[in-house]
Amino acid sequence: MGKERKPNAYALAGVDVDVEAEASRIMYEASKKTFENRTGRIGEIVTPFDDFAGLKMVNISKLPEGSFMSLGFDGAGTKVEIAERVGRYNTIAFDLFAMVCDDALIRGGESIVVGSNLDIKSVGMDDHFLPIMRQLGEGYIAAAKEANVAVINGEIAQMGSLISGYGEFPFHWGAACIWVARKEKILTGTEMKAGDAVVMLQEKGFRCNGLSLVRKIMKSVHGEEWHTVQHAGSTLGELTLTPSRIYSRFVAGLHGGFDTEGTCEIHGVAHITGGGVPEKMIRVLRRAKLGARLENLFDPGEIVQYVQRTGSISDYDAYRAWNMGQGMALITPEPEKVLAEAVRYGMDAQVAGEIIAEPRVVISSKGVEKPGQELSFDVD
């Protein structure tokens, strides 16, 4: 049992400000450990005084002409319920950061600073839930390092009955990401040419998309406690919780970040999230009025195949709901260089196909329904 505290007036309304302050300190201490990710670079965090409620700023006084900044927003979605079911919270930050940081790559940007808002039903009236906060903080630090960003805050809010979910610690986690780019490096959608290669980066889990369908299928087949069912040497819950791979540091290095030259020529980037391969490729290809033929995609991960098979989902629908083994597509005239850099970085990558003049996305399916069947989607 957690250590009991004498209730104050606010605590009588269900919010213990002392416990909340400790939870905030946990997240602030985690965020401080991410400041080193941007030391000496654009995005370096300046703190006039060290306090979790104190002022934190980014020094932008020396930005050169042609510097641009943008802001993206996203969240970990209903994947937080999987963490709640499994009872492990130190990977969900990877899903959050993958959603907000990797989107910057689509336009040739480099993510530099993340701010998040953690909405919790309650941190409780004692220290019972503080170990969960520490797990969230551990994930914060690790995910920020992988994304090469600094976390400027550790904001939390107790929402009471407005937040519901599985178990005793339901929550929602959203974030904003500041990214920067140089004018000459911004990807507009017109750089691509027919004949460019499409290099796919592998994603073994679901990332943060299509999980409402996953949960519906699993519950209908295995019941409310589906996450405890043993499968492939693990459990369905653990496999579904597989953290998203963060591509920000790797791809920014390829294309060239705000203050680096890069190693490969990149003409386009598609982040394979909601809408799957067809929708995300179409978004990138639409302005150039081109298409893509993808005949060598990665196989979907074990858990993705299991859910597709169990739910009797067609390959066509599966490729529109889930990433099906793909996390990001890089469109490049230099696939050999990209693959060589991937080997050095430890990133699983392969040439999946090429850009074509006809405005449609053609996929050779790796789904469980009819492997090898051709799926076609118009670029409208």
Residue 56: what pLDDT?
80
Which candidate, 175, 214, 223, 207, places its Cα nearest to that of 313?
214
Q: What is the reported pLDDT for 16?
A: 57
Q: Which single residue is written with the structure tokens 């920067």?
A: 180
pLDDT at 55: 74
Identify the pLDDT of residue 12: 45
51 & 133 share domain: yes
**Number of domains making up the chain:** 2
Domain shared by 294 and 366, yes or no: yes
Q: Which residues touch 277 (CB under 8 Å, ≥6 apart)?
A: 294, 297, 319, 323, 324, 326, 329, 361, 363
- The Cα 355–Cα 361 span in angstroms is 9
Specify if 2 maps to a domain: no
Q: Which helix (H) or strand (E) holds 58?
A: strand 57-58
CB atoms within 10 A of CB 54: 10
**What three-state secondary structure class fits 72?**
strand
Same-domain status, 175 and 232: no
| In-domain check, residue 63 | yes
Same domain, residue pair 151 and 272: no
Which residues lie closer than 8 Å to 221 by C-beta, 6 or more apart? 310, 311
Among the candidates 161, 185, 209, a domain finishes at 185
Domain of 237? 197-378
Q: What is the pLDDT of residues 291-301, one digit of tens each?
A: 999 999 999 99
What's the CATH number where 174 sits? Answer: 3.30.1330.10
Q: Which residues of the chain have pLDDT under 70?
A: 1-17, 49-54
**Model confidence pLDDT, tens digit, residues 13-60:** 444 567 888 888 888 889 989 999 999 899 998 887 665 556 788 888
pLDDT, position 276? 94
Q: Is the pTM of this model over 0.85?
A: yes
H or E segment and range at residue 306: helix 302-311
Neighbour count for residue 311 (Cβ, 10 Å): 17
236 and 218 in contact (C-beta within 8 Å)? yes
In sequence order, the β-bridge partners of residue 68 are 181
CATH number of the domain where residue 369 is located: 3.90.650.10
Cβ contact 336:253 at 8 Å: no
Report yes or no on 1 lying in a domain: no
Domain boundary among 160, 185, 210: 185
- pLDDT of amino acid 280: 96
Q: What is the pLDDT of residue 362?
A: 98
Query: Do 164 and 63 have their domain in common?
Result: yes
**Residue 37 has what pLDDT?**
94
